Structure 1
Amino acid sequence: MRRVALFIVGGLGLMGLGGLAGWRFHRPAADARAYAEMRRIAVQVSLDEAPPDYMFYAGDSQVELQPGGQRPCGHDFVNGGISGATAASYAEYLARTTFTVLPSVAALTIGTNDILTKNNPQSPQQGQHFEAAAEAIITRLKAVSPRVVVTALPPVGREISKLVDAAAVAVYSQRLQTLCGRLGCVYADPFAALRDGDSGYAKPGSLRDGLHLAAFRPALQALEPVLCRP
């Protein structure tokens, strides 16, 4: 049976805005790092015990909150989401991750935590920083998998417009698409049905807290046609 691995990185490195939600904004950075390291260890344990036929799904809180028991393309998958990840931090996590069984397909979603308004995401310096980190992730994925799928950033809610630069959603998605053209990965947008035009914002009811998806399974299902393609 064809082995498939889904590696979706980061779309929302934030931990949310209520419940899980305010953790990233109000806890000390040391706490965020400690959580990320413990989660990285848990992901590594899952990879070490992964079945020979699996899909590896990695990223930030949008990925970590994906329900278990799903079988994308008919395969088991390991949830590799690490809430709080930016492109740079996930590149560092991934560099320390080992794959006993190599994934057949890898997918990447990254960037929402990079477009916080406090980061001045549309400055040339920040954009270059993001691209360099994303390239490191894609290069690492291509080293362990023959097929890499990179997704657009998911949209954000208008209620968090002071925290996240919605206009940067399209800008950073384009950066990822351009990287795929240069590095040889496949670009896809499993969040297209959630978008309110090209605004970077989500349609009403698409998100549960202005940040996380109201329903996670449909996003993974929307990605399946690209992931399962021979």
Structure 2
Amino acid sequence: MRRTLLLGLAALALLGLGAGLDRWLHVPAPNARAYAQNRLIAVQVHLDEAPAEYVFLAGDSQSELQPPAQRPCGLELVNGGVSGASAAVYADLVETLAFRSRPLAAVLTIGTNDILLKNRPRSAEAAARFEADAARIVGRLRRETDRLVVTALPPIGRHLEGRLDPLAVGDYSQRLRALCERLGCRFADPFAALRDGEGGFAKPGAMRDGLHLSAYRPALQALAPALCGTGSP
């Protein structure tokens, strides 16, 4: 029974992590909200047992794929990332989480699942929806921590041009920067070293599949100045 449950959860996790890439390969993607509901069971368990001070990761797969053994700012890491989540999905889900102790700091990375080219992400309507949903997430996290860092969107692989909007990477990142200026969060770009110019694309080898980073630890370490205020990893 236990083995069956573990295998089932593992399958759900793999489906969630592959949800974005499956869209490009024309494989039916699992429902992001259904995966998220299962994922958030694990997130809530970790939150319930979190120490008095910790760092909370929020957002999509760029957060969920961060190795759990890291100790940013010397604190335990509680990973609340949900692979496949758009800003709208995560905005709804984060409202359901109960923070029994306040995180010392939180990081939000969101937006990659919002820049599907078919959804015209740089249209006024789509951009306004993204900003509104991102503002909901920021507002929720700001109620739980005094130190919220919102990141830029990571770059994408060139082979995904035509399925993702590379120009929306910079556009949505700037919208998040402006949002932080308005709502009181900090904005940072831990993916700067991975960018191949300003067109939204990644340098060769920076991404493992065009969507996900080849290495995640450097990105979290790059956030140390904004996240910890000391420059320490």
What is the TM-score of this pair, normalised by structure 2?
Answer: 0.87
Separation (CA, whole Å) in 2 of partners of 1:128 and 1:184: 19
Deviation at 1:219, TM superposition (A): 0.3
Residue 202 (structure 1) aligned with residue 191 (structure 2): no
User: How far is the alpha carbon of 1:23 from its aligned partner?
Assistant: 6.9
Q: Distance in 2 between matches of 1:70 and 1:16?
A: 23
Q: 1:86 to 1:56 in 2, by over 3 A?
A: same
1:32 Cα shift?
3.3
Q: Distance in 1 between matches of 2:118 and 2:97?
A: 29
- The 5 Å alignment of 1:70-219 reads 70-219=70-219
Greater relative contact order (CA < 8 Å, ≥ 6 in sequence):
1
Number of aligned residues: 214
Q: Which runs of 5+ in 2 are unaligned?
A: 1-15
Match of 1:26 in 2: 27
In structure 1, runs of 5+ residues without a counterpart are 1-13
Q: Where has structure 1 moved over 4 Å in runs of 4 or more?
A: none
Distance of 1:145 and 1:68 partners within structure 2: 20
Alignment-derived partner of residue 6 in structure 1? none
Give the greater-gyration-radius structure (CA): 2
Show the counterpart of 1:10: none
**1:169-216 CA distance string (max 9 Å, x none):** 000001001111111111110000000110100000000011100000
Structure 1 CA distance, aligned partners of 2:207 and 2:72? Answer: 22
Q: CA deviation at 1:15?
A: 3.5
Deviations 1:112-146 (A, max 9, x none): 11111111101000000000001111111111111
CA shift, 1:167, in A, is: 0.6
Residues 58 and 80 of structure 2 are in contact (CA less than 8 Å); yes or no, is this contact kept in structure 1? yes
**Which amino acid in 2 is paired with 1:213?**
L
CA RMSD across the alignment = 1.8
Deviations 1:148-181 (A, max 9, x none): 1111100000011121100100000010011111
Opposite residue 135 of structure 1, the aligned amino acid is A
The worse-fitting range, judged by mean Cα deviation, of 50-59 and 20-29 is 20-29
State the distance in 1 between where 2:53 and 2:183 align.
26
Q: Is the 8 A contact 2:107 2:150 kept in 1?
A: yes
Partner letter of residue 91 of structure 1?
A
Q: Is the 8 A contact 2:33 2:89 kept in 1?
A: no
Letter in 1 for 2:201: Y
Q: Residue 107 of structure 1 aligns to a residue in which SS? A: strand
More divergent stretch after superposition (215-224 vs 60-69) = 60-69
Structure 1 stretch displaced more, 48-57 or 172-181 = 48-57
Asked if 2 retains the 8 angstrom alpha-carbon contact of 1:16 and 1:211, the reply is: no
2:22–2:29 CA contact under 8 A, matched in 1: no
Kindly state the Cα deviation for residue 27 of structure 1 after the two structures are TM-superposed: 3.0
Higher helix share: 2
